[in-house]
Amino acid sequence: MTKISVSRLAKMKQENEKITCITAYDASFAAIFDQAGIQVLLIGDSLGMVLQGHDSTLPVTVDDIQYHTQSVARSASNALIISDLPFMSYATPQQSYQNAAILMRAGANMVKLEGGAWLAESVKGLVERGIPVCGHLGLTPQSVNVFGGYKVQGREDDQADLLIRDALMLEKSGIQLLVLECVPVPLAARVSKALQIPVIGIGAGSETDGQILVMHDAFGISAGFCPKFSKNFLIETGDIRSAVALYKEQVENGSFPSSEHSFY
């Protein structure tokens, strides 16, 4: 296989091919996902909850993401590797440059940050310095204390309009990918059609250009509850590799996510 690039993902959007993404935190699972043909692996700050046992992503550090990025990069030779910039690691443009450089040196092909138009200067500066950027809008877990919990975003007209404006501003600033989390299906469809870049959904319905799940949710092994937007693919197959293949197949044919995994 040829190494997945941002230009390949853009072409997939143009050709209406669904993009499959999943989180990865170690070399063994990264190899399984890579061999299955998953296009994008995300070293997410979700590791704070699923690996470290915290109740949010806020305690995760750049050192944590750096370590897990190195582990994933050692065995994922085909997938595009995205690494999260964790909470308060990109509060200023200069801080974002320094921390993004650490993650790129660790093996990331792109960094992801959460937030809207206020990030425009940082995004522009990162891209100018050779660092591809993925945006993240909707439910942004690093802002859980502002939101008052993990709630669906964009249900009100003014919230939806603001989200679309933020998405367009981020695209103009240079992001090449956007993750859209926990928003109503009609809003996700509007954003996907408005942007030239691929939009990857999680809890955003099936009309986005691709899907991402936290691997622990996809295998039904997360502590606590399974989010509404997720599905336990392992229980249907009984085998991890088959579960990954089923996830990829159902994203590509549009059967996942279904209405039961979506918000309206």
Catalytic residues: 181
135 vs 5: CA distance, rounded Å: 16
198 vs 251: CA distance, rounded Å: 15
Instruction: Quote the tokens at residue 178.
Output: 């956007």
256 vs 249: CA distance, rounded Å: 9
Instruction: Quote the tokens at residue 107.
Output: 């093996």
DSSP H helical segments within the chain, as ranges? Answer: 6-14, 27-35, 47-50, 62-73, 93-106, 120-128, 144-147, 157-173, 185-194, 215-218, 234-237, 240-253
Instruction: Quote the tokens at residue 54.
Output: 């915290």
Q: Is 71 helix (H, G, I), strand (E, B) or coil?
A: helix
188 vs 99: CA distance, rounded Å: 30
Element (H, E) at 180: strand 177-181
Burial of 79 (0-12, 13-18, 19+ CB in 10 A): buried
Element (H, E) at 40: strand 40-43
